[in-house]
Chains A and B, each alone.
Chain A
């Protein structure tokens, strides 16, 4: 089965590359170069005419300018034609992880292909297909269809989205390719509390309310409360597999990017989670986040809380073994990074430090005691080097701390190679 999957991937890859009009592109590129060359000659002629002793009349000059415009238009049209409506991209993450205590591992963590197709300017398809950990067998590795949706653009302020979508929560869930974040592994808070990568089938709208203020509002398949655990809700994601839609969840996000270098966002998720076992239970998750970049400095942070309605009922109904399901879970992270090269340089080198806390046992119903080993924090120090804007080499050291004195959270040393095309 896994061979078939890989063969399919390779075939799709080859087909798209061949059918993308690759053969034609060379000749078109030559034409564009030729036209650009002619534009340069004409521009020089104009400059000479302007500097010259007036031998050329103004009329001649405007004639040249007209020819120049026409040529520019030709180039623009050719560039427009060159773009195929179907596009292929991808990103990959290859990691070395050495945790102490523990053995060192090499992990081809992600192999992701993205396909998009533009039916028209207002109807566009987009998808993301991922193989995790290279080898798929029951209980290890995964093939995931993380995104597969069609957007219908009604006007600049409103669009409808249908399909499998990323749940619009936090920063990283919708911005999750290697070169886009610091650190070899994704952030703990946005893994433990906001279960990145979190996707579900659904339908929604998105657009803009006022300048800079964008919204998303989706109706999605619900989380499965029977999979909630003392250490969080990560296992409760349906991942698009025959998702229950009788009790849809609602997810919304607002982002404000009206400031030059600062983006602030907030998200809210609410859903019924007791449908499988016919009890009344719900989940509410919210977050507040920001990302800031000014010259060499980059800051980002997130604060999130999760509330489980009828957590004690759920705990009793599913016979939770590793501890009770909390009424409240919470955490935050703060990250500061300094870029050592200017933003206009092709390379990038940055140092970063991050502090994170995640507690999935923040508040329990009376009569229950919190399981303290699920209250943890991490300090991560590291560097990212990008020898090309789409290739990143990452190194970091993560120091974990567990609030349960009998549990050693452990530290880890990680090296990552990530790329995007």
Chain B
């Protein structure tokens, strides 16, 4: 038991470190690119109870296209600043695309707008519009 305990502790720390490092290097696999017409395209995944990524950066004046895809149940996306509110279909049933022009500098919330479970109220992200 003692042995298993310390083994477990060590294992947990090891796993954290390994995946911490590997995930840092995987961060680049986010889709965050500029289309030919200059539209800033960002793909965001939704799952109980978070958006991945939960913070995005765009430049003022940019046309922004967000592509939302669910990893599990039906979620939603509301971006009050741009009067956007749409459902995100459940896994395997397509994606939701929202577009807006980032006209104002500042930090704005995007949140889940479809009651999706016990942690629904925590499901939020931030759009940072930089000059």
Contact = CB atoms under 8 A, between A and B. Distances in A.
Interface of A: 76, 79-80, 83, 87-89, 91, 114, 116, 121, 124, 126, 128, 146-147, 149, 151, 153, 155-157, 166, 174-177, 179-180, 206, 208, 211-212, 214, 257-264, 288, 290, 292-294, 299, 301, 303, 330, 332, 334, 343-348, 355, 357, 359, 375, 377, 388-390, 403, 420
A153 B109 contact: yes
23 contacts: A79-B87, A80-B84, A89-B116, A114-B115, A114-B117, A116-B115, A121-B80, A126-B120, A156-B126, A157-B107, A166-B118, A180-B48, A258-B53, A259-B19, A260-B26, A260-B30, A261-B26, A261-B52, A264-B20, A290-B15, A301-B11, A346-B93, A357-B8
B4 A357 contact: yes
A76 B91 contact: no
B20 to A, nearest CB: 7
A240 to B, nearest CB: 15
Given A116-B120, A174-B118, A262-B23, A334 B11 contact: yes
Contact of A157 (B20, B50, B92, B126): B126
B15 A299 contact: yes
Contacts of B29: 260
B12 A377 contact: no
Contacts of A294: 26
A187 B113 CA distance: 29
Contacts of A177: 48, 117-118
A175 B118 contact: yes
Interface in B74-102: 74, 78, 80, 83-87, 90-93
Interface of B: 1, 4-5, 8-9, 11-12, 15-16, 19-20, 23-24, 26-27, 29-30, 48-50, 52-55, 70-74, 78, 80, 83-87, 90-93, 107-109, 113-122, 124, 126
B20 A288 contact: no
Contacts of A147: 118
A330 B70 contact: no
B106 to A, nearest CB: 9
